[in-house]
Amino acid sequence: MAKLSVSDVHVRYGTNPVLKGVSIELADGEIIALLGRSGSGKSTLLRAIAGLEQPTQGTITIGDKTVFDHGCVNVPPEARNLGLVFQSYALWPHRTVRDNVGYPLKVRKMAAPQLRAQVDEVLDSVGLAEYGDRHPSELSGGQQQRVALARALVYRPPLILLDEPLSNLDAKLRDEARVWIRQIIKKYGLTGVFVTHDQVEAMGIADRIALLDGGQMVQSGTPEELYTSPNSFFAADFMGLNDCFEVTIEAIGGEQATCRLGEARIVGRDKSGKRPGEKARAVIRVESLRVVDGPGPARVPATLVTSVYVGSRWEHLFDVAGQQLRAFTTSRLPDAAHHLELPNGQLWIF
Amino acid sequence: MTRPFRIGIIAATAVAIFAPLLLVLVQSLLSGPFFGQNVHVTPDAFTYVFTDGDFWRALRNSVIISIGMTAIAVPVGAILAFLFVRSDLPGARWLEPLMLAPMFISSLVLSFGFVIAFGPVGIVSLWVRDMIGFVPWNLYSLHWLILIAGLTHVPHVFIYASSALRNLGSDVEDAARSTGAGPLRVVLTVSLPMVRPALLYSAVLVFFLGFELFGLPLVLADPQGVLVLATYLYKLTNILGVPSYQLMAVVVIVIVAIALPLVFLQRKLLATSDRYVSIKGKAGNQRRVAIGKWKWPALALIVAWLAFTVILPVAALVFRAFLSSWGEGAVLSESLTLEHFRELAGYPNLIRGIVNTFLVASVGGALSVGLYALISLAQHRWKSRWATFLDYSVLLPRAMPGIIAGLAIFWVFLFVPFLQPVRSTLISIWFAYTLVWMAYGMRLVQSSMLQIAPDLEEAGRICGATGAQVSRYVTLPLIRTGLMGAWLLIFVTFVREYSTGVYLLSPGTEVIGSLLVSQWATGAVDTVVALSTINIAMVMGGLFLLTIFRKKQNG
């Protein structure tokens, strides 16, 4: 049974359509990442689920309760019984940590001793047992983020929504927090929706990724599916570090397209639906590109333009038939003629 | 807050706003007072007013005064703002708090001060005459009225121009300098255009306030028989022997018809000036412009302005309150006395006026702020036609000068049966004050509400709290200090208000402001100066508390 079901949701700001019909099914205990650039509608979708935006069309169901059905049902945010961690954390500056975390229980009229016990337990589970009497301004960014999570978890909502919760943390803290948030959501057995613009974050935290662009869902699947078989140029380009270049299709056979890049011939997985003779865009992950010594199948001659040393590797810029391609190696390259190998399983033609 | 609750509050506010004006509209089309016998619908009142030479003269004077004071206040205000905010003027930090003083002192009290300082036998006039043999000015002339009106409205321009200049980072000017533009060219092509919306806005504001002028023309122009719209209205009260309500209603409609478009224009200008906010560059690291040898003339200009518009009139007035009499040949040492203050005690209505003023300003002011907060909460973060409707509705009382609003509300209390018993209580005064200052008060409250990030309130809703619970737990506690500051400002505003209470003046509803108007008419100068001094003291007290409060907040 789907824990969260969003079906054909449209949202408009004034006359400007922000979501143009998005549908998502989320199973119990699953974590989904809504991934996209700013303006893709991912935060709006989250806010629509939370009840903070009013869709102009569509239905939203949480568990077996319909919380929004355009024109007949619109459950207010406070009655949707879900947790939301804001990007800004939205901790009330005039209340202590304990008051912040305890407020959801207070409005649910829980008795004081039980409330205190439950708040202490959740504070303990986020590692802030000592900090209950402080005010949010007396905590570090990472601690504030954990308070925000504690406040969203304390009443055990079946569904938790996180709106770019890591974006205000510095890089190192972000890596730790990502692992930790996934653990705690799984530990509490919650269903999670996680909004982010960072594909590494999305892959690291979610069981499934929904990629949004321009108010529409572009592709959805496991992180592996999205990374290894993107179904559009946008999806391919958005995930990972890529080389994108233009080729001319020569022949199409089954799922394979044979293309011409300069004088060389390369073969990639055809996703273009184009005919021979047409131009197409080719995408390959930078790490799949190999620098090799001599010519051969799936290899193109390349001239080294420049090299940069970034510690863990060398990053090179090559000129291939007038187009620029990046490639990585572990050691310095000599100033000589080179070839690049583009393995055909990892090259997509759009 | 639930939807019906919000709508209820907005609808009630709208009734309070529109009822007085509707009554005025109906009254203007009747042949006599709306409560009279044998009253019928007729355009006679309009015919009478529009064929009355005095009306056209008053309208013309109002237009001339408005234009004249705008022409004085805007350049002076803009120059002073530049000197204070962007130049290395010596002593700017000390002088700046004084710049707003004319806004806080009742313009009626200030007018008395001008008469006592610069009138034909004024303290400064006589002093000048002793030195040069004659008084080189005649205070009771239209020119002087325009000059005084212009100079006392400089703060209205200063406040907007200085905040616009403060928000303007030096970086946008530096950027222009780096492309090769000279300093004067930068001022003309970058700095000035960027504060132009603020200047335009304040010009419309001052022009509009020109039509509202009541205290200054009543005291300074009336003795010469020079009328403006507001004093024409005031004179109409008894022109036909019986209260000529229908004629007054027509004048009210004329004034509102002039003011309303100006208020809408202001709103439009404010909206466009917000557009400039995003492109203002980084404020904060402002470098001040060295004005070199112009420093001292500039300082002299500011001190002269301060002396003329605030210090001399107020000092003369307060001084006069402690003199038994003043005139030619009066000897100072024998004249010092507390008699005028003692005399006040002999008049119960004056004592009531002082007590009432304090009550309306303190308790009433707190209630008003509470009401403004409630109404603001009703439309807070609510994208709805109702909220927009309220937004525009509160502009209406803004377009009603105090004397007009007071009159219209007086009629409402006369007209609505269940309100009649309250007419002669302080409640009517409080209601009128609250309505007249609604736009101002709501802006004070809303500006602190808008500083709360929407997230903080949304987080409350997500946690399971209803809108009302969120208001109590999050919004109100967070704007507590803002409300406190608003209360102190409203206190000062209510203390100095004088025109709104004029028509509501009756035994039990006396306030210092309306008493001053009526006492001045009877020529009781001693009472007027004593009451004015008390009024100034109350304003100062309020400002003192406000300063302490702000210091505490910042420190």
Q: Which residue of B has its CA nearest to A93?
A: B478
* Separation of CA A58 from chain center: 23
Token pair belonging to A320: 């291939």
Give percent above pLDDT 90 in chain B: 45
Per-residue pLDDT tens over the stretch B199-216: 998 999 999 999 989 999
Residue A68, strand partner residues: A60, A74
A14 interface with B at CB cutoff 8 Å: no
Q: Tell me the per-residue pLDDT of B402-433, one tens digit each, with 9 for 90 and over.
A: 888 898 999 899 888 888 888 889 999 999 99
- Both tokens of A311, joined, read 């510690």
Q: What are phi and psi of A66, to 5 degrees?
A: -80, 120
Element (H, E) at A317: strand A314-320
H or E element that contains A213? strand A208-213
pLDDT for position B279: 43
A90 contact B CB<8A: yes
CA of B7 vs chain A CAs: smallest distance (Å): 17
Whether the Cβ atoms of residue A195 and residue A46 lie closer than 8 Å to each other: yes
- On the question of pLDDT at A337 being above 90, the answer is no
Lowest mean pLDDT among A18-32, A43-57, B302-316, B439-453: B439-453
Please provide the average confidence, as pLDDT, over all residues in chain B: 87
β-bridge mates for residue B258, sequence order: none
Rg (CA), chain A: 25
Q: Is the pLDDT of residue A4 over 50?
A: yes
d(CA B327, CA B125): 11
Q: What backbone phi and psi angles, to 5 degrees, belong to B136?
A: -80, 15
> Residue with structure tokens 């004056």?
B350
CA dist B2 and B377 (Å) reads: 11
How many Cβ contacts (< 8 angstroms) between chains A and B?
62
Q: How near does any CA of chain A get to the CA of B2, in Å?
A: 10
> Backbone dihedral region of B46: left (phi > 0), alpha (psi from -120 to 50 degrees) or beta?
alpha
Q: How far is A89 from chain B (nearest CA, A)?
A: 8
Q: Which residue has the higher pLDDT, A16 or B166?
A: A16
Q: CA nearest B491: which of B554, B428, B541?
A: B541
Express each pLDDT in A198-244 by its tens digit. 999 999 999 999 999 999 999 999 999 999 889 999 999 999 899 99
CB contact under 8 Å between A93 and B478, yes or no, is: yes
B466 at the A interface (CB within 8 A)? yes
Token duo for residue B345:
């005690």
Residue B171's CB: how many other CB atoms inside 10 A? Answer: 17
Closest residue in chain B to residue A102, using alpha carbons only: B463
Rounded to 5 degrees, what are φ and ψ at B384? Answer: -155, 155
Which residues of chain B lie closer than 8 angstroms to A93, CB-CB?
478
B210-255 per-position pLDDT tens digit: 998 999 999 999 888 899 999 998 888 766 666 788 888 999 999 9
Do the chains contact at B464 and A86, CB–CB below 8 Å? no
Give the three-class secondary structure for A273: coil
* pLDDT for position B447: 86
Which residue shows structure tokens 């979501």?
Answer: A19
Q: What are phi and psi of A189, to 5 degrees?
A: 65, 35
Best to test chain A binding among B385, B462, B466 (most A CBs inside 10 Å) = B462
Q: What is the band of B511 on the pLDDT scale with cuts at 50, 70, 90?
A: very high
Query: For residue range B283-316, what is the model confidence (pLDDT) as tens digits?
Result: 455 677 777 778 888 899 999 999 999 999 999 9
Distance CA B446, CA B376 (A): 6
C-alpha B299 chain-centroid distance: 27
CA distance A270 to chain B (A): 46
d(CA A204, CA A226): 13
The shortest CB-CB distance from B461 to any of A78, A151, A152 is to A78
Beta carbons of B466 and A84 less than 8 Å apart: no
Could you tell me which residues come within 8 angstroms of residue B36 by beta carbon, excluding any fewer than 6 positions away?
Answer: none
CA nearest neighbour of A302 among A315, A291, A311, A287: A291
A84 contacts B464? CB cut-off 8 A: no
| B373 to A120, B265, B475, B480: CA distances (angstroms) | 36, 26, 10, 11
Residue A345, both tokens:
């399983």
User: According to the model, what pLDDT value does residue A210 have?
Assistant: 94
Q: Do B455 and A93 touch (CB under 8 A)?
A: no
Radius of gyration of chain B (CA): 25
Residue of A49, A80, A92 to mutate, testing the B interface (most B Cβ within 10 Å of its Cβ): A92
Question: Is B185 touching A (CB cutoff 8 A)?
Answer: no
Considering CB atoms only, which of A84, A87, A91 is closest to B462? A84
Query: Residue B8: pLDDT above 80?
Result: yes
Specify the pairing of strand A216-221 against strand A208-213: antiparallel
Residue B136 confidence (pLDDT): 87
Buried-exposed string B48-67: b where 16+ CB fall within 10 A, e elsewhere: bbeebeebeebbebbbebbe
Residue A108 near chain B (CB below 8 Å): yes
In chain B, the residue whose alpha carbon lies closest to the alpha carbon of A163 is: B455
Phi/psi at A211 (5° precision) = -95, 125
Is A44 in the B-facing interface, judged by CB distances under 8 Å?
no
DSSP, collapsed to helix, strand or coil, labels residue B140 as coil
- Confirm or reject contact between B469 and chain A (CB < 8 A): yes
Amino acid B401: pLDDT: 85
- Contact status of B452 with chain A (Cβ, < 8 Å): no
Q: Which of A264-268, B91-95, B305-309, B528-532 has the lowest mean pLDDT?
A: B91-95
Q: Which amino acid is at B357?
A: T
Which residues are bridge partners to A253 per DSSP?
A256
- C-beta atoms of B464 and A81 within 8 A: yes
Tell me what the mean pLDDT of segment B527-536 comes to: 94
Smallest CA–CA distance, residue A129 to chain B, in Å, is 21
**CA A197 from centroid of its chain's CA atoms:** 6
